Structure 1
Amino acid sequence: MRNLEQCRHLFPALNRTHNNQLPIFLDGPGGSQVSRGVLDAMQDYLGHFNANLGGAYFSSKETENVMHQARLAAKDLYNAPSEQQIIFGANATSINFHVSRAIARDWQSGDEIIVTNLDHYSNVSPWVLLAEEKGVIVHYVRVNEIDCTLDMNHLKSLLNEKTRLVAFTCASNVTGSIAPLSEIMSLVKQQTNAITYLDAVHYAPHHAIDVQALDCDFLVSSAYKYFGPHLGVLYAKESTLAKLTPYKVAPAKDIDPNRWETGTQNYEAMAGYIACVNYLASLGGQDGDRRARLLMAFDNIKAHEEALSQTLISELLKVNGLTFYGITDLERVSERTPTIAFRIKGFKPRAISEYFGDQAICLWDGNFYAQGLYDQLDLSDKGGVVRVGCLHYNTKEEVMTFCQKLQELIA
């Protein structure tokens, strides 16, 4: 595995200055920085092979190869059985709206679906809007307010033979809480015949994904969250996909996965995506195939990020007037990502983010489209929270600098 300094050297944004200061990027949950390899791959494709699919000439054939290699990269990242189960789109939200229309085609009045208060609303609104059209009942799984984890007892109480869909996040983009994925999937399969739709957008930068072990129907991520370009990447179980009919242009090929990819695709982003997955694999050394190296990489990422979480949480708990949203038990850092949400008495979240922004320390404030969570926690009209998020390229020194400056602000 590359050491941390070698990793940081590959990211131009981490090595520039702003107002004569080296910036600290703690904005990872909103989007990661991009490695030089991704930038080079995208520029190389656009500069030498920019063409559409289906032509008899060299650059069109190269585009076909880029798309094929991008599917193989996503196959390895997700551990999908086949690259033909990978669908690309503009982003996770656009994919969700597109695919949801096909899933909901045969919903009937009185059917039920389940979404959660832990989710980004890109995995809530598409289903709710269609449920309203179809007369379908929507259930929202609550969170445990003490640690902002999913209320599993509430979920159990909602599952029944009328449940047609269970859509849930793998990890909260606000509190960092990781859902018990295997437990949820087991419950759903025991009690329903529902389609399962997993949002892995926040989970994907931090943990290895295995769609075969989960046995889910769909799983979606956005590559710009894990060091790649803006590209949505959907896994779809072959047997589930075959039963669905997409909304598409009539002459378009009626084969999977192509029939789900409407319009001309972002081929330069796919070129960057290949480089993105290869970068992640490089963090796992040189032994084994790409999937094996990805698994090792995420073991390494997990160890580093858990150490960052422990430092960040322990330091924030020393801050007077701070309200913490999420798991604070240092023995439970494996149940969360290094994404922290908090408020400080007497300070508006926006004022805190502006204070740090003036010092080239990048973090976020607001509600981050997690409307169900904010409604339940009564934060919707209060400016939301301050969100600080680490990725593997962050250092303990950066975390300590942030915490020290936060203490200075409070003082």
Structure 2
Amino acid sequence: MATSAHASVNLEAIRAQFPALSQTYNGHPRVYFDAPGGTQVPQQVIDAISGYLVHSNSNTHGQFHTSHLTDEVLEHAHAAMADMLGCDADEIVFGQNMTTLTFALSRALGRDLRAGDEIVTTLLDHDANVAPWRALEETGARVHAVKFHPEDCTLDLEDLQSKLNGRTKIVAVGFASNAVGTINPIKKIVEMAHAVGALVFVDAVHFAPHGFIDVRDLDCDFLACSTYKFFGPHMGVLFGKHEHLLRLKPYKVRPAADTLPDRWETGTLNHECIAGITACVEYLADVGLKTVKHPESRRDAIAAAYAWMKEHEHELARQLIGGLLEIPGLTFYGIRDLSRLDERTPTVSIRMAKLSPAELSKKLGDLGIYTWDGNFYAINVTEQLGVEEDGGILRIGLAHYATSAEVERLLKALREWA
């Protein structure tokens, strides 16, 4: 049985594993508050990618050593992601990115749709969890979008309930908003959708760097995430329940194996980056080993890592949000109540009266503080907030390797410009 080590994680030791964090720009230490667009990677991920190219580079299923090694790399990576998400290894599908995987899945699901069937999306989502489902309107299906409350950017569950009925076949919802950080009550949404017989697809891209995922507990039918958002390489991952991955017919080449997960992993995969996926999961487990003694499994260690990350990120979010709300002329979007941090990630979006989001991002970038401006492909969010035509919003996104001193650097700059 795992027991708490009751020891604080050495943040500087964590940061030392990320080579990017020691870099400077314009004489300033770099501050990576661009994490929602992609996190930095630890050295062990870099080593795994380069090590594969040196020692194992080959295609799969050959009758020679490096091909055998590549087969093992893929097997280990499927097992690693299964440990992270809480499923079986053959329920894991690797692909180019979440967007491409979602289009492939939606196309397969579209085979079974008929005119009059309905799909539910949300206005809070990244367009990668909207466009693939809207594309299925060509089958005659109707696509509805659930509203969100603009005052705190939380999903309108009453509106969701009103859009669910016996014709609803698919509900596509984000675990967390990549624009404003809102965490949706996924388990409740899954129960609502299953009550009318609908399948549920969860976009967990923005949630995965911040929260522990248990697909069995959620009971979602599909869940997708991107490893470059949680300290790994630029790849996408799809979980699907066995029965769905076996029942659905993916579009694939004829000689491809019809067993899981091969039937969904069309074409040659990015083997070197898949080696990096195993390393990024092992990095998370290593963080957990610093907080818990004798974990029962790698998944147990991963859960411990997320528990520490959540605590650390909440401390930073209190400092960041509290500081932002004190700045005159600043507009804050999303949950601002510091007693509700469990309902959001440490990703916040703002606007300032005298500077456009692009101008603000550039001024911060000149100081080595990296943030994003625009809509981040969550175009429905910026449209609903009335800022799309005026440059969108400035997004500040923290990861667990951020420090209180870095947050203060950002706040100091914003105070001066206000």
Length-normalised TM-score, structure 1: 0.98
1:120 to 126, 135, 139: 126
1:287 shift after superposition: 2.2
Contact 2:26–2:366 (Cα < 8 Å) also in 1: no
2:388 partner SS: coil
In structure 1, what is the Cα distance between the partners aligned to 2:294 and 2:18?
A: 24
In structure 2, what is the Cα distance between the partners aligned to 1:198 and 1:179?
A: 10
Structure 2 letter corresponding to 1:258: D
Match status 1:151 vs 2:156: yes
The equivalences for 1:301-320 within 5 A come to 301-320=309-328
1:20 shift after superposition: 2.2
1:372 shift after superposition: 1.5
1:9 to 16, 20, 28: 16
Change beyond 3 A, Cα 1:250–1:268: same
1:275 corresponds to which residue?
279
Q: In percent, how many aligned pairs have the same letter?
A: 46
1:2 shift after superposition: 4.2
In structure 1, what is the Cα distance between the partners aligned to 2:135 and 2:386?
A: 23
Structure 1 letter corresponding to 2:191: S
Structural RMSD (CA): 0.9
1:53 to 48, 60, 69: 60
In structure 1, what is the Cα distance between the partners aligned to 2:354 and 2:380?
A: 25
1:255 corresponds to which residue?
259
Match status 1:233 vs 2:237: yes
Contact 2:361–2:371 (Cα < 8 Å) also in 1: yes
1:245 shift after superposition: 0.2
Greater CA drift, 13-22 or 91-100:
13-22
1:295 corresponds to which residue?
303
1:179 corresponds to which residue?
184
1:381 partner SS: helix
1:284 partner SS: helix
The equivalences for 1:248-397 within 5 A come to 248-285=252-289, 287-288=294-295, 289-397=297-405
- CA offsets 1:35-94 (integer angstroms, 9 cap, x no match): 1000001000001110000111110000000000000000000001x1010000011011
Greater CA drift, 238-247 or 62-71:
238-247
In structure 2, what is the Cα distance between the partners aligned to 1:106 and 1:296?
A: 41
Q: Which consecutive segments of 4 or more residues in structure 1 shift more than 2 A?
A: none
In structure 2, what is the Cα distance between the partners aligned to 1:29 and 1:241?
A: 29
2:320 partner SS: helix
* Unaligned 5+ runs, structure 2: 1-7
In structure 1, what is the Cα distance between the partners aligned to 2:136 and 2:143?
A: 10
Contact 2:252–2:264 (Cα < 8 Å) also in 1: yes
Structure 2 letter corresponding to 1:292: D
Structure 2 letter corresponding to 1:150: L
1:334 shift after superposition: 1.1
Match status 1:91 vs 2:63: no
Contact 2:120–2:146 (Cα < 8 Å) also in 1: yes
Change beyond 3 A, Cα 1:66–1:2: farther
2:45 partner SS: helix
1:346 shift after superposition: 2.5
Match status 1:22 vs 2:29: yes
